[in-house]
Structure 1
Amino acid sequence: MTRLQLLGLAAATALFAAASAHAEGDKAAGRTLVYTCAGCHGVPGYTNAYPQYPVPKIAGQNEQYIINALHGYQSGDRTHPTMGAQAQSLSDKDIQNIAAYLSSLAK
């Protein structure tokens, strides 16, 4: 293996390791952040706003789904007045932490 190939492999490995470490959320931090979520998502059969939007249960949901959904609300690809406002207040790390915690719960 040439020196350039070895350097490229080392750089790729370092980037992969950094991305993997960055993608992991902190469940304990997420637990604190989801107190706001429980106001709607923790009530079975709850609807909010007009027209009435059914509120899905999010406990036990797939981690990547939660991340994608919250980013979708931030970007405007997903629309809901309450969720759009909530998502705007979250950092990427907050979203990872929330997703890690919620996905660890039983459905």
Structure 2
Amino acid sequence: QQTSIPTGKVGVKADDAQFEHILCDLGKDLTGRMEMVAKQHHVTPNTLLQTAWGLLLQKYNGSDDAVFGGVVSGRPADISGIENMVGLFINTIPIRIRSGVDD
């Protein structure tokens, strides 16, 4: 099934909903603890946040599997003349977060 984001209103699709933009400062203490947990598990803090987002999507969708897009950047060195090219060189890749028991 398609992963969706709830609107909080019955009968309103996410495409038609109006969302707020909220900026949240995690603070030095929480950021430090997140970095410590990331190091303990040999992942980046970004991986922790992506996992949390995936778990939130799972909860909203009543599923143990969620897929969403993650933006990555990079200039492949193997392309001739890449250092002279102008552009963003970004891609959106699928990120899958699964929880529960493996089959």
Q: TM-score scaled to structure 1, two decimals?
A: 0.27
Higher helix share: 1
Q: TM-score scaled to structure 2, two decimals?
A: 0.27
